[in-house]
Amino acid sequence: MRRALLFSLAFSFVLGARAAAQTCTGMPAFSSGQMQIAGGGSFADGTSSFGGTFGYGVPKGMYGKAGIGTTSYDALDGSSLDFSLAGGYQIPLQTTRTAELCPVASLSLGSGPDDVLGSDIDMSSRTFALGAALGAQLGHNPQLQIVPNASFQLANTRFSVDDGTDSASDSESYGLLTLGTG
């Protein structure tokens, strides 16, 4: 379950900056260009994650992102290969576009670690999240904009283990609150 949270936070560092922002998520605006590339990392007790995303969108409309990454687990002596898809729709809350609300959805799939501690047990996960993101631009300087943002999503993670003969899975639903600035 923690891996899903870590993976969703793994893209907090943005490569490159633009003057305008996709305010609801703290990312560069699609009006500055229809494509985005982002990368990041997350470190917690016993795990570390790295990944990158490619996004495509249109100004004042829909956007989608695809990502790939890896999460390393110290206690399991292994790592997973993580894939993600996410999308949303930008809705300006003011005519000046200083605040946006975005309905958002995401799907993350994790494959691994495999052969956990030499036990022939393979692990996998699936996380689906649905919610909304909100952000606002602070200041009027076109050279530097600070964009605080937050999202709340309802998520469900399904975790599976398989030893080649038998398999078992469990799922958990939870709320996911993400706070950031861009």
Please give the average per-residue pLDDT across 101-108, as a whole number: 94
Q: Fill in the DSSP letter of residue 118.
A: G
CA distance 158 to 42: 21
> What pLDDT is attached to residue 19?
31
What phi, psi does 9 have (nearest 5°)? -90, -5
> What pLDDT is attached to residue 151?
93
With H, G, I as helix, E, B as strand and everything else as coil, classify residue 6: helix
Query: Percentage of the chain with pLDDT > 70?
Result: 84
Residue type, 82: D
This prediction has a pTM of 0.76
Residue 9, pLDDT above cutoff 90: no
| Of the ranges 26-30, 87-91, 173-177, the best mean pLDDT one | 173-177
Residue 68, pLDDT above cutoff 70: yes
